[in-house]
A and B are shown apart, each in its own frame.
Chain A
Amino acid sequence: MDTTNQSPAGPRGVLVDASWGTAPCPVVVADSTGRVVELNTAARFVFPDAVPGARLGEVAPGWFAEAHRRTAAPGAVLPVVPARTTCGTVGDRTFEAHPSVAADGDVVWWFVDHTDRRLAEEALAGERRRAAVLAGAFSALLSSLNVERCMEVTARMAAEHLAEAAVVVAPGRGRAHSLTYCGPDGEVVHRMVQADVELMPGLGEALRGFPPVPSRWIDPAAVPDWAVPPDLTGPVGSVVVTPLPGHGVPAGALVLLRSGATTAFTDDEEVFARLFAARAGAAISAARMYAEQAAVTTTLMRELLPPQLHSVNGVDFAGAYRASGQSERVGGDFYDVHPAADEGQESLVVLGDVCGKGLEAAVLTGKIRNTLQALLPLADDHQRLLGLLNGSLINSHHTRFATLALASVSRRGSAVRLRVTSAGHQPPLIVRADGLVEKAATRGSLVGVFEDITSTTAVVELAPGETCLFFTDGITEARGGPLGDEMFGLARLEATFAECAGMPAEAIVEHIQMLATQWLGGGSHDDMAVVAVSAPHHAHLSAVDGHTRGRYTA
């Protein structure tokens, strides 16, 4: 605002007239030497010591006296530049002072009280800052389902925006607590601490989920060393301890610290800390719940996941598995190798396909795999084994059925001998050293449907470099290809397999799984499982330098 051009001031010495003497805003007239000439009623309330003749420097705040000195330069008859509006505090209020310079060098100062506007603006800026902090905290916290990461984000954001340093205390077992510290430098440190949380004022209550103890009740001197981030310099000046509310049980507690030099926490800051803690607590709880669920799933899933295959008694086994769903790890296909105890005995390899997909089918594969494990002592007689398995499936509440192929495998000199039986499953393929592909002459009924089942067993001899391949229909029925709508098919599998003569078992399963997956070209598919049983080409490493086989196949 520029009011310099029309001076409302009357000539010098003229008494305050009604035009501004009774104005609601304070008005002070001062001369070029810095003495008060006149002031109105409103101004007398603001500057109670000011009387005509008094020096401004003695009766008014410094910022005003200084502004007047600049505006009313001695000797200046007319200001060369428009006088500027100034701001400053008088007591607990803030004013804008608008000068208008009269021809004789007197300056009339018009004061506008803008305390409320300033407070409103400050409150708005504060709210914006807090909203930004909360929004930032939200997106950082929501992005992770990892407990440690969430605690890290909480500690870092709290140290950055709410205090000088922050400590996130996770609920512990007994005296052991996991603490996440962040100091003024923004470095986050995790530490396990053996401590009695009751020694830290307010912490025990916060961890039990009680309302927070007000900051002013906490004696900073009572804060134990383990609750202070290592890089907080100087003694603790003020502390806020607030619970991190969780799903029913507290997710932990947040300790905010300021060193002695800085200001104490205001009530507003404490309320805001609680708001922040509510969001952080929700995120940490969600992450903890996810971690617990993931741990349960991992434990339950472990038995359903396809096993890592390796060489057993001089026979190479390799397997590959891909579940139908993008996010699934298990499905209705399965395989196992049950190694023989001794070199001369037969190992049992099984590959099968339960009708259906997903977790439900996987549960049935688990049942079949367990049953077969229990029936291992009878594995010499495939027909008896399948009969017992069939009986157990028919008597169970599962209404699904399964097809499987099994083989008893043993090493005979440099060759490998397999007794192969199919129970309603595609017979395995054999690739000879010269690239000729054969089909094992075995067939039989699927299991889990008929009371009486039959099957025939074929004997297959593998010379070094030859491989017997077990696979599920997820491979042969993979739909796609360059034209998009063709089945991968048995013929294509046989042609591919023919090129695999002499390849190591794991290279074969990888190659076939790769080609089938690429054939799909990203399209949907059934579960896919492949197992290769090979007579190794070269002498085994174990025979070369005496190391155990397991060290080489990891």
Chain B
Amino acid sequence: MTTVSDHPAARMGLDDARHRLWAAVRTGDESAAYGVARDALESGWQVEEVLLDLIAAVQVKVGTEWAADRMTVAQEHTATAIHERVVAAVAHHRAVPAAPHRGRVTVACVDGDWHALPARLLAEVLRQRGWQPDFLGAHVPTPHLVAHLHRTGPRAVALSASISTHLPTAHAAITACRATGVPVVAGGAAFGPGGRYARALGADLWAPDARSAAEALEGGIAGHRPAVAGPPADDLRHLADQEYTYVAGNGRRLVRETLARLADRFPPMRDYSDRQRERTAEDIAHIVDHLGTALYVGDGELFTGFIGWTADILEARNVPAVCLHPALDLLADQLKDFPRALHMLAEARAALASRTSAPTTPGPGKRA
């Protein structure tokens, strides 16, 4: 991207802009937040730079601050909502440089995924670059997505998934899109480090960020016609062992059983309030869901990574991470006949045991 160099005002510094926007969204000050974006634009920033180098960067900080318990859920939602509004305002701040000439692209989040902002940013970046994006928003049911493809015949679909437990749904969505002859660019944290799950789930391409996604589309993936009705991916051959099917199908029963036995193993639980008990049940449910997803993609690191991230989150909220051990043990008791699941549980347990302090690593995404 080129920048406007002959602008009269001095170009606002990157750190200065991020600092001001962060201050505004942290206090829920929408007009101040818009003021930062407007000042940046008027000092010569490109719209794409404001979207990606400013707003997206500060949104990442919102996520890490929440994970470190330095921001409440309400503050986080407020900040995100303000970012959404600023994106809309910035996108219409200036006329788009060129009339759409690159064709239509559908941008959507997989069903169940509520993190609309990254996909929305991509849609606006594509619009700036001359595409005609249809942004379908967060949690788009796959049948709606497919109906949209039939109706509009886009050159490609950009599919966003932020949380790894949506990978099986993302797989169904990718397969359905490609079956209509439309190539899929996958993006978002759910697809793992380096997008390792995107290929296994059949995506034509993975993009680490909005700029690479736009470049991938410009590089000609759009319009490339995926072969329809191909054989199922070899990468998922392990699904034949039915371990995923069992864990996903009996997930809630596993949670109930684990919770019931946990009180015996973990004495402090006996004094839990209903609210605490429910939180614990939710944590176990997340563990089971992630175990299921790890079985689906056949990667124990997904599960180990989630357990490490959960430990960070718990410790940031002064809950000792050791409380995860009994839950993992109880799940192993119930999954005796499932070697892949047992192996993953054992690896996660070992990783947990080797934790010394609480390093804050970026997690797979925010939790509800």
Contacts and interface: CB of A to CB of B under 8 A. Distances in A.
Interface residues of B, number: 54
Contacts of A140: 181, 225, 228
Interface stretch (B29-37, B239-247, B297-305): B29-37
Interface stretch (B147-155, B189-197, B352-360): B147-155
B139 interface: yes
B114 A481 contact: no
B364 interface: no
Nearest to A495: B275
Nearest to A505: B81
B275 to A, nearest CB: 8
Interface residues of A, number: 51
B278 interface: yes
A484 interface: yes
B64 interface: no
Nearest to A327: B143
Nearest to B87: A554
Contacts of B92: 551, 554
A294 B91 CA distance: 30
A143 interface: yes
B255 A146 contact: no
B245 to A, nearest CB: 15
A522 B138 CA distance: 16
B149 A146 contact: yes
Contacts of B319: none
Main SS at interface, chain B: helix
Interface stretch (A66-74, A76-84, A260-268, A496-504): A496-504
Contacts of A503: 28, 74, 77-78, 81
A551 B180 CA distance: 36
A515 B150 contact: no
A422 B229 CA distance: 53
A143 B181 contact: yes
A482 B85 CA distance: 33
A504 B81 contact: yes
B88 A517 contact: no
B269 to A, nearest CB: 15
A414 interface: no
B73 interface: yes
B31 A538 contact: yes
Contacts of A327: 141, 143-144, 147
A395 to B, nearest CB: 36
Nearest to A484: B252
Contacts of A502: 28, 74, 78
B74 A504 contact: no
A499 B368 CA distance: 12
B72 interface: yes
Interface string B73-117: 110011011101100110110000000000000000000101000
B282 interface: yes
B31 A539 contact: yes
Given A502-B74, A503-B78, A143 B34 contact: no
A518 B368 CA distance: 8
Given A507-B78, A507-B80, A552-B89, A538 B181 contact: no
Interface of B: 28-31, 34-35, 38, 72-74, 77-78, 80-82, 84-85, 88-89, 91-92, 112, 114, 138-139, 141-144, 147, 149-153, 179-181, 225, 228-229, 251-253, 255-256, 259, 275, 278, 281-282, 284-285, 368
Interface of A: 139-140, 143-149, 153, 287, 290-291, 294, 326-327, 329, 481-485, 495, 499-504, 506-508, 510-511, 514-515, 517-518, 521-522, 537-541, 544-545, 551-554
6 contacts: A144-B153, A327-B143, A483-B259, A484-B253, A538-B28, A539-B31
In the A-B complex, the 7 residue pairs with the smallest Cβ-Cβ separation, listed nearest first, are A484-B252, A554-B88, A507-B81, A482-B281, A146-B153, A327-B143, A482-B285
